[in-house]
Amino acid sequence: MSVATLSALPVIDLAHVDHEALHRAARDVGFFQLTGHGVSQAEMDELLRVSRAFFALPEADRLALDNRNSPHYRGYTRIGTELTRGTRDWRDQLDIGEELPPHVPGRDEPAYWWLEGPNQWSSALPELRTTALDWIARLSAVADHLLHELLAAIGAPPDFYDDAFAGHPRSHLKLIRYPGRPELRDDQGVGIHKDYGFLTLLLTDGVSGLQVEDPSGEGYIDVPHIPGAFVVNLGELLEVATNGYLKATNHRVVGTPGERYSAPFFYNPRLDARIEPVPFPHAAQATGVTQDPTNPLHAEFGFNELKGWVRAHPEVTSKHHPELL
């Protein structure tokens, strides 16, 4: 595969993993399409059905789950109130994580424990809870399998990060609606960014809009829809853990004339997990991590996670955690 002529993402079959192909995709592109994962089309269709049903609820029912009600950054985000690199994204969404009791940080505990807590659920759509929590459990198993295969593909111990994901890993699901591009505004559905965790598995409804930076750095390519596949990308912590050998790639969603639905699932370690460098035989070929002085990464995952939520949701932060601004 030549980076100069990349026009589509690599396709990886998780049921019959070609480690060489997975190695190349993670090293050279940082994105790929995942098939053979065992999640049925019926399960995918059901999640998208429930997502559409939520966004079709009257505004009052959606605002009953307003994330400004939650010190844990869970719930509904209105259109134009989430920021990427300081600019408003043109989408609304529902953030859902593992259902846990609230963890109010003690005097000597890091503030990132505020991120652990309960979700907000809609009494107008009771099936949302079961469907979303089942999806989180289902995709956690898929992502765990994929991470083990990815580490094996680069010659690392497949179980190297098992302890970091033990207990209550910080995985979560976003249900997203892009309402269509309005007149007289730019094309930012969600702005250019990299995910800062480990792995993201994205379900889309087939409507275009997702774009990935070409490995040449000279532009963006459209990501075509493959029915039944997840779009997978690596996060910055995997890039850091391999000293830049694996690639976290910039991506964005541009506005489309009509509605677009997607459901990214973020597979990340425990908040208090420290991400140690992974030993692997290709370490001497690592190019080093791309440094962003305005957005430094921390070895302790929770600080990266908290920083992301504080920046993206200033209204929630101002209401519940003004000391973090």
Angle at 22 between CA 174 and CA 35, to 5 degrees: 55
Query: What's the rounded Cα separation, in Å, for the pair 109 and 279?
Result: 30
174/256: higher pLDDT: 174
Quote the pLDDT of residue 2. Answer: 39
Provide the residue ranges of all domains of the chain, joining segments of one domain with +: 11-321
Any idea which of 48-57, 93-102, 172-181, 221-230 has the lowest mean pLDDT? 172-181
Helix axes 41-55, 127-153, angle to 10 degrees: 130
Specify whether the CB–CB gap between 257 and 180 falls below 8 A.
yes
Burial class (CB in 10 A: 0-12, 13-18, 19+), 40: exposed
Q: Is the pLDDT of residue 237 over 70?
A: yes
Backbone angles phi, psi at 261, to 5 degrees: -115, 140
Q: Give the residue from 69, 4, 12, 7 showing the smallest Cα distance to 212.
A: 7
**pLDDT tens, 3-48?**
444 678 999 999 999 999 999 999 999 999 999 999 999 999 999 9
Can you say how many angstroms the Cα of residue 43 is from the centroid of all Cα atoms in its chain? 19
Average pLDDT over residues 40-61: 98
CATH superfamily of 11-321: B-lactam Antibiotic, Isopenicillin N Synthase; Chain (2.60.120.330)
Query: What's the rounded Cα separation, in Å, for the pair 200 and 303?
Result: 19
Query: What's the rounded Cα separation, in Å, for the pair 150 and 156?
Result: 9
**pLDDT tens, 124-144?**
999 999 999 999 999 999 999
Quote the pLDDT of residue 185. Answer: 52
Cβ neighbours around 64 below 10 Å, total: 17
Can you say how many angstroms the Cα of residue 213 is from the centroid of all Cα atoms in its chain? 17
Q: Is the pLDDT of residue 1 over 70?
A: no
Structure tokens at 227: 């029915």
Query: What's the rounded Cα separation, in Å, for the pair 265 and 260?
Result: 17
